[in-house]
Amino acid sequence: MALKITVIGTGYLGATHAAAMAELGFEVLGLDVVPEKIETLSRGEVPMYEPGLEELLRKHVAGLEGSTGRLRFTTSWQEVADFGDVHFVCVNTPQKHGEYACDMSYVESAFSSLAPLLRRPALVVGKSTVPVGSAARLARLLTGLAPAGEDVELAWNPEFLREGFAVEDTLHPDRIVVGVGGERAEKLLREVYATPIGEGSPFVVADYPTAELVKTAANSFLATKISFINAMAEVCEAADGDVVKLAEAIGHDERIGKKFLRAGVGFGGGCLPKDIRAFMARAGELGADQALTFLREVDSINMRRRAHMVELARESVGGSFLGQRVAVLGATFKPDSDDVRDSPALNVAGQIHLQGGQVTVYDPKGMDNARRLFPTLAYAPSALEACRGAHVVLHLTEWAEFRQLDPVAIADVVVEPRLLDGRNALDPAVWRAAGWTFRAMGRPQA
């Protein structure tokens, strides 16, 4: 009989995972502790923006016309425990308030709710990003609390999806990593992922700590690569060099590669910043803090980018934001997402607002989330409207829509045609030809 799958925590990761599991042919039951989320998902609607996800949900959510009916949602732990052969735990693991460490309370709570109800053999699979050592501890907790005892096993299967490509990445992962304590768990996970494995996705089997570390190591490497090029941008600005040319040239070396070498306002979002901090905190607890002190520098280079963007903006309007109108293009931490968690764009917008600037933000998908987080900023319904009356325009999230803007039309509505490109994604020649004073991070001023 086909395995029955549950997904616990239906946010960015869990909602995508649940829909993808249904697409792979499994019967799936999703659970969340927020009833509104469950109601929305049950109607086939996605509570966030992720390209292709709504279509996939509608294809499978039970009760919708023409759907396979393989995907349902609930708030009942009992129903989940009775239903599932494999339970994927996808709850959030944010940074603790006032500390670098990971807040494991949502994971602990999910395990404590599920485990006492597990009366039949099951595999619980953690997907959340957790500090190394968590899986071994949770495995003991699970067998201790579950009435089915040793028949309940734990595996850790970190997730590498990228927001904006979440559906594609989940259906066709570039690798599947599983930390297991035994052969049965490995066998079940090979069954769950038979389709992507059959298509050639590498399946890496490891022990718990290695699987946990793969995720934080991968994020640390990516964060380091971004901060590296941003450090080069700082030097380029000091030496009148061009970081875009530099990145292109070093990227030709296959050992370095072209990806993740775009200098700008740096990384943000719900993963990289908190993951590198939690990694440092955990290494400290393990007595290996020296090994990761470089991540402190990676973090501070990254945070410096935001402050530098504010400085460039202040400089461009004559040294003070008072009485100045600033248009901010972009609110999300990356394009093709509505996620504004720790977004550099909103952070910059907020800092300028606090320094007396009148900031108007426009984002193609992140407006509702941005408004909730920063209700005191002004919001406009289009890029053109955000720019109307502006003394300077800041390009802070690299949405394709912004690359298609007409510099001549925007020049007509601003007070001063000044543009700061915080993502090195716009063509300086085109904007300068339309009369703009164009400045980009790490590039020479014209």
Ligand X SMILES: NC(=O)c1ccc[n+]([C@@H]2O[C@H](COP(=O)([O-])OP(=O)(O)OC[C@H]3O[C@@H](n4cnc5c(N)ncnc54)[C@H](O)[C@@H]3O)[C@@H](O)[C@H]2O)c1
Q: Which long-range contacts (CB under 8 A, 24 or more apart) does 378-385 make?
A: 380/327, 383/329, 383/410, 384/409, 384/410, 384/413, 385/360
**Of the candidates 218, 137, 209, which has an alpha carbon nearest to the alpha carbon of residue 180?**
209
**Of the candidates 38, 153, 17, 33, which has an alpha carbon nearest to the alpha carbon of residue 85?**
153
- The yes or no reply on residue 9 touching ligand X (CB under 6 A) is yes
Q: What is the CA radius of gyration of the chain?
A: 23
Pairing of strands 176-180, 203-206: parallel
- The yes or no reply on residue 332 touching ligand X (CB under 6 A) is no
232: tokens are 């080069």
Q: Which of 3, 4, 24, 33 binds ligand X (CB under 6 A)?
A: 33
- The yes or no reply on residue 50 touching ligand X (CB under 6 A) is no
Q: What residue numbers does the annotated binding site for substrate cover?
A: 160-163, 215, 260-264, 268, 334
Cα dihedral sign, 76-77-83-86: positive
CB-CB contact of 298 with 304 (8 Å): no
Toward ligand X, which CB reaches closer, 31 or 377? 31
Please give the residue whose beta carbon sits closest to ligand X in the complex.
Answer: 11
- The yes or no reply on residue 293 touching ligand X (CB under 6 A) is no
Q: What residue numbers does the annotated binding site cover?
A: 32, 37, 93, 129, 160-163, 215, 260-264, 268, 274, 334, 341
Minimum distance of ligand X from residue 319's CB (angstroms): 39
Minimum distance of ligand X from residue 60's CB (angstroms): 19
- The yes or no reply on residue 163 touching ligand X (CB under 6 A) is yes
**Of the candidates 32, 58, 56, 25, which has an alpha carbon nearest to the alpha carbon of residue 44?**
58
- The yes or no reply on residue 32 touching ligand X (CB under 6 A) is yes
Toward ligand X, which CB reaches closer, 19 or 420? 19
Minimum distance of ligand X from residue 40's CB (angstroms): 11
Minimum distance of ligand X from residue 266's CB (angstroms): 17
| Of residues 200-219, those binding ligand X (CB under 6 A) | none
Toward ligand X, which CB reaches closer, 271 or 328? 271
CA distance from start to end of the chain? 67
Separation of alpha carbons 294 and 273, rounded Å = 14
At 266 the three-state DSSP class reads coil
Which residues does 255 contact at the CB level (< 8 Å), separation at least 6?
none
Contact letters (x/-) for ligand X, 114-133, by CB under 6 A?
--------------xx----
- The yes or no reply on residue 301 touching ligand X (CB under 6 A) is no
Toward ligand X, which CB reaches closer, 126 or 357? 126
Q: Which of 2, 34, 307, 354 binds ligand X (CB under 6 A)?
A: 34
CB-CB contact of 382 with 354 (8 Å): no
Toward ligand X, which CB reaches closer, 12 or 431? 12
Catalytic residue numbers read 271
Chain positions contacting ligand X, by CB under 6 A: 8-14, 31-34, 37, 90-93, 106, 109-110, 128-129, 159, 161, 163, 270-271
